[in-house]
Amino acid sequence: MLVDYPPIHINFLGTGTSSGVPMIGCNCNVCTSTDPKDNRLRSSVMVTSPEKKLVIDTTPDFRYQMLRTGTGHLDAVVFTHPHKDHIAGMDDIRAFNFFSQKPMELYANYLTEEALRRDFYYAFADHKYPGVPEINLNSIDDKPFTIGDMDIVPIEVWHMKMPVLGFRFGKFTYITDANRLDEESKEKVRGSEVVVINALRKEKHISHFNLQEAVDLVHELEIPRAYFTHISHQLGLHAEVCRDLPNGIELAYDGLTLDL
């Protein structure tokens, strides 16, 4: 798989925690920063291969994320977990239905499927109101699956007590909303050249890695290049935090792109 993996282009659509940065009503130095790298929509990435374009999660900012990247075509959405900041924007796949005249392919585990069926019940009705999202729901678990030319390996990680799916695309691994990985999952990440991991803030948190825990995990797994995401205003200014990070580790920011 590693040898033949197609070239992929990664676009960070959002790198903020559930409230986004700035946070409504907050006047802290991060929320009022004039550095565009301190403005973070909710966390999501777009992965583009020669054959397919997919996003990981549809955040509450999904519509704007598609507009500001000029995305006119999307083949699939792969979901990590059912929390609202990762599924809320699903309704806006309607625009893609309209132009492609096809249902959107969604990939979700049982937990996320349950939430999608509850929160977007009208898209699952037997007799649908015209104009609701047209979707084709594909069930996934911890077994590898394929979208076009991309073999994707799900990696189960822990968000306190909730299993969340990370995803490995050849040399690239994306993990959000985790605070713990089992040995078996660490094994699936090892050998990646680039890893994205969530790092919420410096202080400890019950369901997210903090900055030091994320750094320690990158070092433990011996990953040469890492980008942190799902960042809170509490982490501090992008420029200042990046200055203190070890070699090979950076904070991601909205609009960052990578080619692998």
Token match 């069926």: residue? 117
Closer of 21 and 147 to Zn ion (Cβ) = 21
Do residues 77 and 65 touch, judged by C-beta distance below 8 A?
no
Could you give phi then psi for residue 257, rounded to 5 degrees? Answer: -125, 150
Kindly tell me which of 23 and 46 has the beta carbon lying closer to Zn ion: 23
The CB-of-256 to Zn ion minimum distance in angstroms stands at 18
SS3 label, residue 11: strand
Is residue 231 a contact partner of residue 199, using CB atoms and an 8 Å limit?
yes
Residue 41 CB, nearest approach to Zn ion (Å):
12
Question: Does residue number 239 form part of the binding site for Zn ion (CB under 5 A)?
Answer: no
193: Cβ–Cβ under 8 A, 6 or more apart, which residues? 171, 172, 223, 224, 225, 260
CB nearer to Zn ion: pick between 168 and 230:
230
Which distant-in-sequence residues (6+ apart) come within 8 Å of 102 by Cβ?
Answer: 134
The CA-CA-CA angle for residues 35, 36, 41, to 5°, reads 135
- Of 200, 233, 236, 252, which one interacts with Zn ion (CB under 5 A)? 233
CB of 16 to Zn ion, least distance (A): 9
The reply on whether position 85 binds Zn ion by CB under 5 A is yes
Quote the least distance from Cβ 72 to Zn ion, whole Å: 27
Q: Which of 36, 144 has the CB closer to Zn ion?
A: 36
Pairing relationship of beta strands 162-169 and 9-14 according to DSSP bridges: unpaired
Number of residues that bind Zn ion (CB under 5 A): 7
| Per-residue CA distances from 186 to 25, 138, 162, 220 (Å) | 39, 25, 17, 9
Q: Smallest distance from the beta carbon of 83 to Zn ion, in angstroms?
A: 5
Cβ distance to Zn ion smaller for residue 23 or 189: 23
Rounded Cα distance between 241 and 211, Å, is 10
Q: Which residues from 15-44 bind Zn ion, rule CB under 5 A?
A: 23, 26, 28, 31
The 97-136 contact track toward Zn ion, x by CB under 5 A, reads ----------------------------------------
Please tell me the distance from the alpha carbon of residue 123 to that of residue 106, in angstroms, as a whole number.
Answer: 12
The answer to whether residue 160 forms part of the interface with Zn ion (CB under 5 A) is no
Applying CB under 5 A, which part among 46-54, 82-90, 109-117, 237-245 lies near Zn ion? Answer: 82-90
For Zn ion, which stretch binds (CB under 5 A), given 113-121, 171-179, 202-210, 220-228? 171-179
Site for Zn ion in 173-212 (CB under 5 A): 177
Which residues, listed in sequence order, are joined to residue 147 by a DSSP beta bridge?
A: 150
Interacting residue ranges for Zn ion, rule: CB under 5 A: 23, 26, 28, 31, 85, 177, 233
